[in-house]
Structure formats: C-alpha cells, structure tokens
Amino acid sequence: MTADSSIQPRSANPLLRALGGETVHPAPVWLMRQAGRYLPEYRALRESVPDFLTACYTPDVAAEITLQPVRRFGLDAAILFSDILVVPDGLGQEVRFEAGEGPVLEAIRPSDVAKLSLARMNAHLTPVVETVTQVKAALDDRTALIGFAGAPWTLAAYMVEGGGSKDFAAARAWAAQDSAGFGHLIDLLTQAVVDLLRRQIEAGAEAVQLFDSWAGVLSAEAFRRWCVAPAKAIVAALGDSHPGVPVIGFPRGAGFLLAHYAEATGCAGLQLDHGVPLDEAAALQRSVTVQGNLDPVLLLVGGEAMTRQILAIRAALGQGAHVFNLGHGVLPPTPPEHVAQLVETVRRADRKDAA
Amino acid sequence: MTADSSIQPRSANPLLRALGGETVHPAPVWLMRQAGRYLPEYRALRESVPDFLTACYTPDVAAEITLQPVRRFGLDAAILFSDILVVPDGLGQEVRFEAGEGPVLEAIRPSDVAKLSLARMNAHLTPVVETVTQVKAALDDRTALIGFAGAPWTLAAYMVEGGGSKDFAAARAWAAQDSAGFGHLIDLLTQAVVDLLRRQIEAGAEAVQLFDSWAGVLSAEAFRRWCVAPAKAIVAALGDSHPGVPVIGFPRGAGFLLAHYAEATGCAGLQLDHGVPLDEAAALQRSVTVQGNLDPVLLLVGGEAMTRQILAIRAALGQGAHVFNLGHGVLPPTPPEHVAQLVETVRRADRKDAA
C-alpha cells in the first residue's frame, strides 16, 4: 500500500474495470476451469507429473498450465491453476485424487479439528503462492490475474464427508447438531482462506474468487450462517489488508438468496450459475457486477445454440457491469475451438452494439 | 366421473382441503420418503424380497410398506411405495439397484428411443397399479392416498446418463445438441407419465406428485423447455381426464423459476425444497398451495433445532394453504422417534395458534 492508496489510477484491464462497476465494451471474458483437461497442451504437460496435486504444487508446471488458455485464446484474465482442496491438504487432512473418482479425504470428526494447523498450511502452500508470482511475471497489463480459494462451507463439506457427495448430509448434520463445534471448523477455515488469499494478492493476484460450490445443498437458514457470514468476514478482512482488490463471490445454487449474499458480504462481483434467469441477473446487476452465466453444456456443443445464448446474455447484461463467463466450469470433453468461438462471439457482439 | 361431477362434496381430508386452497389447522403433514429404510419394520419386510425393484413390483409387499409409516405416525397421507425409475424399466430400459450405489441403467442413445414401448410399460406396471388399489382399500377417509411419477426431464436424465450424476452433463448435452431428438424422448416420457398417473388415479390415488428431482442442474432456458412445458402438458392431460385431482409439482432446485413453474403448469400444489427461504415461500403461497420445506437434516438431528424450524415454517405459512413436509426425502439414518416428534410438533403448534 502506498501513502495515497485512495488515489488509484484507472486500470487498463477490462476485467478490473468491470469489477469496479464500469460498463465495459466488449465485455471482459474468462472461463471457470479454463485451464484443464479439455486442452491437449494441458494433457501433454500433465504427463510430466505423477498426479494432479503434484501439478498444483509444482510452480513451473502450475504457472504454465495457468498461462496455456490465456495464450491460446487471448482471454482477459488468467486464473491460478490450483484446487480448492489444497487448503485441507495443507491443514493436515491429506487429500488424494483418484483418477475418475474425484477427491478422497480421511473424513474428519469434531475431535480432529484441533489437529489442523494454519502454520502447517501456510508452509505447505508456499508453492501455490510461488505459482502466482511466476504467472504475474509472465502476464502483460492487459490480462488480469485472479487468485481463488474454496469457501469455508464447501471446504468443510468435503472435509467432513471425505469426498464429493450428492447432498453432503454428514456435514449438514454435524452443522445442525453441534453448531458451536462446526462453527470452530468454519472459523478456522475462514482464517485459512484469508491467509491464503492475502498471500496470493501479495504475490500479484489482482482479484480473487471465492468458490462456494456446494452452497446449494443448504437450507436458507444454514446458508446465511455457513456461507454468507464467513464470506462477509473474508471480504472484510481482505478489505482491511488490501483495499481495492475485488472479491468475486460464487455461492453456487443460492438462487433466491443471491441478492442477500451480495449485499451482506459486500463482494465486488457475483458469479452466477446458469440456473439464474437473465431477468434476475439483470436485477442483481443493479447492485453488483455480475459474472456469468453461459451453460457449460452450450460451450460443449458449440455452434448456433451457443451463439444464440451468448447474444441473449449480452443483450440482457450489456447495459451494466458484466464479466462474461460460464455458469460452472468447462466440461472436460469440450472442443477447444468452441472456446475460441465463444471469445470471438462475445467480442463481435459488442462491436456490433457499438456500431 | 358422475353426471354432476362439478358438484363435489367438501373433502374430509385435510391434505385435499389444503391442496384445494384452504387454510387448514392443524396443517396436514406427510413426508417425502416416509416409507423406507429408516423404519425397522421396512427393513424387516425388505428381507422377504430379493431386491428393491421386486419390492416395488410385489403389491402385497409394496402396499404394506406404503402403510407402515401411516400406521406408526398417523400421517395425513400415504404415498405409494414405488420408484420413479419403474417408468424406464417398464419402457424396456432395464434398471438395477446396486446396494449402496444407486440405480444402474444401460445408458440409451438417440437410436434407442424407438425401442421403448408404452404398451410394454403399461403391462409391466400393473403391479404398481394393483398396489394403489390395495392401499386404497386399507385407508380410512381421513388419510389421503398420493400417487406419483418422476417428471420427464429427471427420467430422461437417468436414462441418458445410465444412473445418478452430479450434473447430468450427457443428458444436458444431448438436449442442447439435438433438441428435436431429445424432444421425442421427452414426449414419450410425458405420455408414459400421463398413462401411469391416470391408472394410479383410477385405482384410488386422490392426488399425485410429479418429482423433477434434477430440475436444478438445468439452465433457466432448458428448465422452461424440459421441465415446465412437459409438466404443463401432464397437468392439462390429467385435468381433462380426471378433473379435480390435484397435481403437486416438485421442480427441485428451481429457485427463481418456481413462481413461473406454478403459474405456467397450473399445478395445485408446489413442493418446495429447503433452499427456498420462508419469505419467498410465503410469496409463492399467494398463488399456489405450498408444501414443505423442513431440511431433512433437522429431522435427522431432531430436538430443539428441529422444533424451532418447524415453528418458524408454520409461523411463515400458517395463514395460507400449506402442507407440512420436508424439503427432500427422509434420510436413511433418521431415528423414527423424530418423525413422531415432528408430527406432534406440527399439530401442537397449530393448536396453540388456535387457542
């Protein structure tokens, strides 16, 4: 921070301008899971490391993976290649990724929370921070660098369940039965996320996204307590230490409670899943920059169906602050050419608007 | 239908009165998956049959399972014990239930649709209809009998995916890529659901619920096409053949689009998942009878947390037409005593209101 940090030069980057509340034409565009298995250059590089987590923890590899889609498609942002589960892994709850099976953890019980260690995590995640430094050095000013972390509820859900789940009933039951004990876990994770995001920002991340991928399995009451309150604390803590760095919240499946989430947390950007209708997205856009929300399945199939929906999204959201993105991550069988087509369509749509 | 079917006697049953738009005290109460694994008498009876589908297809067994929770808890409705996947199984796409794994089907491709047979299904599902007849004969007038079917989108999702899935990407991709072909499958399933529900009604079902359990994975646009339009057609077809039999729609995870679903389909009741906030539920209740929406996790843990939320739900929805239910099915590890406590709490809450 400089002495007059309140006087900030207007950013050259369209993503940061949009997150600052500007209407930007053409809309900045990046895609959740834009680095990954659908890219042949990713699959080739992944052969050089034994497993997924090793890729996340090897800065040269992770930085290269982060840059691959930016180079190929000229996207407006790079997002750190990592995984939300590096946090429990760093805290001492070991995570493995089984091929085709998703993450596997030794499920924790309340008595295990005391064994988790923030100091251990901060040491363990140094390679993730080093990746951010390397990516930042490789990017020009026009391309923003986004850091990220899983939100406390979603991390806790995997940690208690021991992996993915349809409904995360074990984690939800613990939260309902012993809210004080579960609250300790959430508090620890909130601090862990703040620590990790601060280090990403110090290493060069210019915006951060908070992924609450399993917010949608919660009751409205539990959502307020376990998603909104921690996100609010994280936004406030980052605002204290690093004012002006926008936080994009992604409470996936929050539906009716999206407006409450945006208002209560004070996030600069709100990632919308593809279940959010465009008229509701436009209503949300009156108070927050919205990001989204093309169905990844339309990117998978490409062609006219995709083009039509891209134009509909931009028609609905083009009069306000909008970052073009998907409603969820790129699906692995997606043809890379469809991503090129998406980027071109977003940019051409807005050139026509301007004409 | 009688000659003067327009003159209907006021039903003695609280569920049917609530579905007719009446504010009923105490609120009628039943629970999704109220018959099932959490009941010791269910587990004992299931030992007499080799597998889950055989239980569904053996009227003596399925009728007894249907009646078990009604007898034990004095609920206001029995719901047919069956499974949504009897429809694809009947159509000729064989379904197996692997213990602890969920349903497994041989995934269909577009060329397989022509092999599915409504005539085969109607023959195959005769035992399901016979179960309804048996249950009806065993119930008194005070307890309503609810039939059900899976909605076309959710059935298609399992049929195309070959089982459960986090996001049903294969089914969604087919729908996006070849909407005419996928539309043929949806049309066939719409007719199958109409056929099955008509037979359930003729055998004695007094209301029917349409379970669109995976509506929430769709984009808003796909939801309108693959969930709303078929549900509208089903409600209309049943209204033609069996006027006055209420249909309860359950587009799980539909969020913002619940009001549209209720209005467009003309369903008499709208089942709400536990993600719907109570103020939004009360707003929906102005145009449709709402059913729900206690988090099943609160039933699992019981006690004060459950009681508090039951009272909050009734406080929010007690001034209009409301059927008390969960937001999703009973979880298998739920202690049966908690169900008794739920029923007692709902009824006592309203006695206090009346006093």
Asked if the structure places residue A6 within a domain, the reply is no
**Mean pLDDT to the nearest integer, B15-22:** 98
The answer, yes or no, to whether residue A3 has pLDDT greater than 60, is no
pLDDT in tens, B121-154: 999 999 999 999 999 999 999 999 999 999 999 9
Question: Phi and psi of B274, rounded to 5°?
Answer: -75, -5
Banded pLDDT at A98 (limits 50, 70, 90)? confident
pLDDT in tens, B326-343: 999 999 999 999 999 999
Banded pLDDT at A193 (limits 50, 70, 90)? very high
The answer, yes or no, to whether residue A151 has pLDDT greater than 70, is yes
Banded pLDDT at B350 (limits 50, 70, 90)? confident
Strands across the sheet with A207-212, in order? A77-79, A144-150, A207-212, A247-251, A269-271, A289-294, A322-326
Helices and strands (H and E) in chain B: how many: 17, 9
- Alpha helices, DSSP H, located in A274-335: 278-284, 296-301, 303-317
**Domain of A320: which CATH number?**
3.20.20.210
Asked if the structure places residue A336 within a domain, the reply is yes
pLDDT in tens, A274-284: 999 999 999 99
CA-nearest residue to B276 within chain A is A220
Q: Which of A226, A297, A304, A310 to mutate to test the interface with B (most CBs of B within 10 A)?
A: A297
Determine, for residues B300 and A222 on separate chains, whether the beta-carbon distance falls below 8 Å: no
Asked if the structure places residue A4 within a domain, the reply is no
Give the closest residue to A191 by CA, choosing from A116, A136, A82.
Answer: A116
Question: Residue A212 forms beta bridges with which residues?
Answer: A251
Show the domain range for B320. 14-354
Mean pLDDT of chain A: 95
pLDDT for B86 = 98
Task: Provide residues of B within 8 Å CB-CB of chain A.
Answer: 164, 166-167, 169, 172-173, 175-177, 216-223, 253-257, 274-278, 280, 295-298, 300-301, 305, 309, 327-328, 331
Asked if the structure places residue A7 within a domain, the reply is no
Of B176, B257, B327, the CB nearest to A277: B257
| Active-site residue (options: B38, B42, B83, B273) | B83
**Mean pLDDT to the nearest integer, B277-283:** 98
ipTM here? 0.93
* Residues of chain B with C-beta less than 8 angstroms from the C-beta of A304: none
Length of chain B: 355
Q: Are A125 and A92 in contact (CB under 8 A)?
A: no
Q: Are A350 and A26 in contact (CB under 8 A)?
A: yes
Residue B276 and residue A219: Cα distance in Å, rounded?
A: 7
Q: Which of A153, A174, A256, A310 to mutate to test the interface with B (most CBs of B within 10 A)?
A: A256
- The gap between the terminal CA atoms of chain B, to the nearest Å, is 41
pLDDT for B139 = 97
- For A186-341, list the strands marked E by DSSP: 207-212, 247-251, 269-271, 289-294, 322-326
Banded pLDDT at B353 (limits 50, 70, 90)? low
Asked if the structure places residue B350 within a domain, the reply is yes
The token duo for B218 is 């769709």
The answer, yes or no, to whether residue A7 has pLDDT greater than 70, is no
The token duo for B168 is 């049903």
The answer, yes or no, to whether residue A4 has pLDDT greater than 60, is no
Residues of A involved in catalysis: 33, 37, 46, 83, 158
Percent of the residues in chain A that have a pLDDT greater than 70, as a whole number: 96
| Residue B57 annotated among the catalytic residues of the structure | no
Q: Which of B32, B38, B219, B273 to mutate to test the interface with A (most CBs of A within 10 A)?
A: B219
The answer, yes or no, to whether residue B4 has pLDDT greater than 50, is no
Determine, for residues A274 and B219 on separate chains, whether the beta-carbon distance falls below 8 Å: yes
Asked if the structure places residue B4 within a domain, the reply is no
pLDDT in tens, B167-221: 999 999 999 999 999 999 999 999 999 999 999 999 999 999 999 999 999 999 9
Higher pLDDT, A166 or B66: B66
Angle at the Cα of A45 from the Cα atoms of A41 and A50, rounded to 5 degrees: 145
Residue A78 and residue A27: Cα distance in Å, rounded?
A: 16
CA-nearest residue to B178 within chain A is A301
pLDDT for B281 = 98
Question: Residue B144 forms beta bridges with which residues?
Answer: B77
Burial classification of residue A208, based on how many CB atoms lie within 10 Å of its CB (0-12 exposed, 13-18 middle, 19 or more buried): buried
Distance (Å) from the alpha carbon of B165 to chain A's nearest alpha carbon: 8
DSSP-assigned letters across all residues of B333-355: T--HHHHHHHHHHHHHHHHHHH-
Residues 6+ apart with CB under 8 A from A146: A15, A30, A77, A78, A79, A80, A205, A206, A207, A208, A209, A248
The token duo for A111 is 């008595």
Burial classification of residue B101, based on how many CB atoms lie within 10 Å of its CB (0-12 exposed, 13-18 middle, 19 or more buried): exposed
Determine, for residues A276 and B220 on separate chains, whether the beta-carbon distance falls below 8 Å: yes
Determine, for residues A300 and B176 on separate chains, whether the beta-carbon distance falls below 8 Å: yes
* Residues of chain A with C-beta less than 8 angstroms from the C-beta of B38: none
Residue B27 and residue B313: Cα distance in Å, rounded?
A: 11
Asked if the structure places residue A343 within a domain, the reply is yes
Q: Are A26 and A91 in contact (CB under 8 A)?
A: no
Asked if the structure places residue B299 within a domain, the reply is yes
The answer, yes or no, to whether residue B99 has pLDDT greater than 80, is no
As for how many domains chain B has, the answer is: 1
Determine, for residues B275 and A253 on separate chains, whether the beta-carbon distance falls below 8 Å: yes
Percent of the residues in chain B that have a pLDDT greater than 70, as a whole number: 96
Give the closest residue to B37 by CA, choosing from B74, B63, B71, B68.
Answer: B68
The answer, yes or no, to whether residue A8 has pLDDT greater than 60, is no
Residues 6+ apart with CB under 8 A from A231: A151, A210, A212, A249, A251, A261, A265, A267
Burial classification of residue B192, based on how many CB atoms lie within 10 Å of its CB (0-12 exposed, 13-18 middle, 19 or more buried): buried
Give the closest residue to B110 by CA, choosing from B60, B164, B180.
Answer: B180
For B338-354, give one letter per residue: b (16+ CB within 10 A) or e.
Answer: bbebbbebbbebbeeee
**Mean pLDDT to the nearest integer, A241-255:** 98
The answer, yes or no, to whether residue A41 has pLDDT greater than 60, is yes
Q: Note the pTM of the prediction, 2 decimals.
A: 0.95
**Mean pLDDT to the nearest integer, B263-291:** 98
For B52-91, give one letter per residue: b (16+ CB within 10 A) or e.
Answer: bbebbbbbebbbbbbbbbbeebebbbbbbbbbbbbbbbbb
